[in-house]
Amino acid sequence: MPFLVHSRPMVPIGGEFFPTIGGRTALPILSLAGTQSGFTCNLSTVNGTAFITNPSISLARYVDYKITLTAGGKTLIGWIKSAGTGETYDSEKFTDAPFDVTGAWTKGAGWSVSGGKGIAATSTADITESLASTAGALYKLTMTSDALTGGTYQGIIEATNIGTAINTVGLTGWYRTVANAAAAANGIHGATALSASFTSISLKQVLTPGVDGVRIVSTQGGATYNWASNNGIDPNVASFTVTISAN
């Protein structure tokens, strides 16, 4: 079973020895040994609410370890403070989340708001609200389609179409870390001749990580929930190279 290299006190458990860090006993490295590519997650990089959520490998076992994310020649470095206990969210950003007020929305060709629904009729345009955000914060966009007879759609956060176009009926959602605080379009994009109706939409800042995620501080054992360094990494890249180390 692979381990990171340590020069720390070791504790015997079940015939094997495990390092102690900050008074805690570290678990063995099961899926992640030192450095691994292809790591995916969602990030909050804003000072005060720095965290990782939805990681492709659970990070909850690595409390008090240093974590380094690399992508595109840029790095993001911090210390894992604590395991997540479940995502929590700030208040609703949309002023008309249930599609009740037609004037609240900027409606592209083929979009309308009626009867508490956002309705697309063979549309390849957008329905959006312009909203200010917190730079570096992670946002979650969700929506519910109650009917879809054709086409595909994507979510829009910060004037950016998110992910792969889908034709899902029911609840779906996307995450994005925003780059700027300035107001920008958020909503739904008709990707291919969309004919569908939506009964709800929501955009909220994510405040805390899920149970496989972790909160980040700038120093080992510290209390400042911020990354130690960030030299301009793109938090929305498809994947990172991740390194977990004792120091």
How confident is the prediction for the chain on average, in pLDDT?
89
Q: What is the pLDDT of residue 246?
A: 87
Q: What does the pLDDT average to over 9-16? A: 41
| Position 5 pLDDT exceeds 60 | no
Compute the average pLDDT of residues 157-161: 97
Asked if residue 182 has pLDDT above 80, the reply is: yes
Tell me whether residue 199 is exposed, middle or buried, using C-beta atoms within 10 angstroms of its C-beta: 0 to 12, 13 to 18, 19 or more: middle
pTM: 0.86
Q: What is the pLDDT of residue 184?
A: 97
- 1 pLDDT exceeds 50? no
State the Cα–Cα distance between residues 75 and 184, nearest whole angstrom.
27
Which pLDDT value is given to residue 86?
97
Cα(108)–Cα(136) distance, rounded to whole angstroms? 29
Q: Rounded CA gap, 136 and 50, in Å? A: 9
Helix, strand, coil % (nearest 5) of the chain? 0, 55, 45
Q: What is the DSSP string of 221-247?
A: T----S-SEESS--TTSS-EEEEEE--
Evaluate whether 216 touches 161 at the Cβ level (below 8 Å): no
- Residue 186, pLDDT > 90, answer yes
Question: Which of 52, 56, 54 minimizes the C-alpha distance to 37?
Answer: 56
Q: What is the pLDDT of residue 247?
A: 79
Give the number of other CB atoms < 10 A from CB of residue 226.
19
Instruction: Evaluate if residue 200 carries a pLDDT over 50.
Output: yes
The answer to whether 175 and 212 have CB atoms below 8 angstroms apart is: no
Beta bridge partners of 112: 119
- Res 23: pLDDT: 52
Residue 112 in this model has a pLDDT that exceeds 50: yes
- Identify the structural domains of the chain with CATH numbers, from first to last: 10-85+209-245 (no CATH), 89-206 (2.60.120.260)
The answer on pLDDT for 34 being more than 50 is yes
Helices (H) and strands (E) in the chain, counts: 0, 20
Which of 4-18, 101-115, 217-231 has the weakest average pLDDT? 4-18
